[in-house]
Amino acid sequence: MKIKLARFEEFVDHLYPSEVVYISDNNQFSDPQLFHILDKVKRRVNQVESKVEFDQTIDARKYSKLIKYFKQKLEKIDVDQYYTWINTFNYQVTIDVIPPEEQTKVLTEIRHFDPKGYHSDVFFQSMEAYKKYLIIRGRLKDLHVIKDFLQKYRIVYDINRSTMLHVETLTERIVLDHQHRKKTSVTPEEISEMLSTFRNENLSRKTRYAALLAYLMYHINNQEVSKLVEPIEELEQAIFRGEFYSPRLLANFYANKLLVLDKLGAYQKAAFCGFQSIKHHTQDFLYYLNNYTTVLIHLNEYKKALSQMKEAFEVFKKSRNLNNRMVFITNYCRCLNEAEQYNNTVRLMRNYLEEFKTRTFEHRWNYFFRTYLYALIMNGQNSLALRINRKYGLVEREKNMLHIPPYIHLLITSAEFSELKIGKPEFESRLTYFDNQLKTTSREDFNSWLSETRRKI
């Protein structure tokens, strides 16, 4: 029986908490044992570390029935499955091969069409293409239905489309301002409009979701996360009701919730959301994983973070996003440092630096080099650490970074003292300077490194 339950356990371990809530609130069960299993499912999904066990005395067919029920129920509300169906229909229209059952399904969809649906705009566009198909073939009865549909929802479509274009334009401004480190060109009124757009239930859910992402991005960039708690809660409640549903969207939701919770200092809850965000493999998987492992590192759960990254190492090697690659390799090597595997860190970071050279400075360079230099120093390679500093001017570069402690300056000071490049008076003078830096930072790693360096006296 245990072997038979393994399939069910594997299925449950890939479920999102919000999927379980939706099924719990929307089922027609009458069997007490199914409710018992569902309760265990809810506990297992929400208590990741406890590994709740399932009752082996219950008929295995009931576990199979529950798997089937979950899949069927969730497939009906999956916006990505709906999108795939529409695209398949568009392809069939293009090549003039539309099965009769698909044409019947389209007419049924028209009768039940919801302009608030996530991909309502895509369906509307597909009907415009289908109209041309029907005209050419003189299918007047079906053509009349399609033309009535297009006329009925034309204004709604146009409003939704223009709103989406506005959201996309504003999002681009937010992204560019942040990337170029410019003072934001977005006004408070424009950002407030994004929240109003998300709350406007007359628009498609795709437009509303895009508006909320713009709102989230702006406030996260500007360190104003307290304003995001209520909108995130509103979105989660909507997801519980079956809106905004697909595994891809849930991964994105939990990834965004992690960012908010992390900024609020709720690290355990953020880690829970991070674990949820990597259950489904998306194009943003490595970005989500990086945020998750960063939280785990903050919680000193280095072994767990390293285990997660080892499983995803092939994804890292295939990624073309240098920012994601940089954060991944640095988080990975930071965990190796904690495990005192300094040789591995030196090898990996040397190879990365040789491959990308000065492009290493495009993203999170300080985090990369301080992790690398620390491994070199702990490995007794102080002279190499000093050569790297001279080659890239790391201490000078760091002086322009006013928002973080002087990690690299501290590490280079340690290496210089060990290599007899500076005497004890200069060393102690710099330690006093670094002590003063502690008054303006709460970085535990900087404090720890300073204590290690002081012990050299």
Place of tokens 């960039």: 221
Looking at the predicted structure, is the pLDDT value of residue 2 above 70? Answer: no
Q: Which two tokens stand for residue 354?
A: 């040789």
Each residue's pLDDT tens digit, 393-447 = 999 999 988 888 999 999 999 999 999 999 999 999 999 999 887 766 668 888 8
* In the chain, domain spans: 2-77
Q: Which two tokens stand for residue 385?
A: 């650490």
48 versus 163: the higher-pLDDT residue is 163
Cα dihedral 238, 240, 244, 248 in deg (nearest 10): 140
Looking at the predicted structure, is the pLDDT value of residue 119 above 60? Answer: yes
What CA–CA distance (Å, rounded) separates 428 from 434?
10
Of the candidates 112, 211, 102, the one whose C-alpha atom is nearest the C-alpha of residue 162 is 211
Each residue's pLDDT tens digit, 7-48 = 999 999 999 999 999 999 999 999 999 999 999 999 999 998
pLDDT at 179: 78
What CA–CA distance (Å, rounded) separates 221 from 322?
20
The distance from CA 339 to its chain's CA centroid, rounded to whole angstroms, is 27
What CA–CA distance (Å, rounded) separates 170 from 211?
9
Looking at the predicted structure, is the pLDDT value of residue 261 above 70? Answer: yes
Each residue's pLDDT tens digit, 94-112 = 999 999 999 999 999 999 9
Distances (CA, A) of 331 to 307, 313, 404, 455, 457: 12, 12, 17, 26, 30
What confidence tier does 185 reach under pLDDT thresholds 50, 70, 90? Answer: confident
Q: pTM, whole model, 2 decimals?
A: 0.93
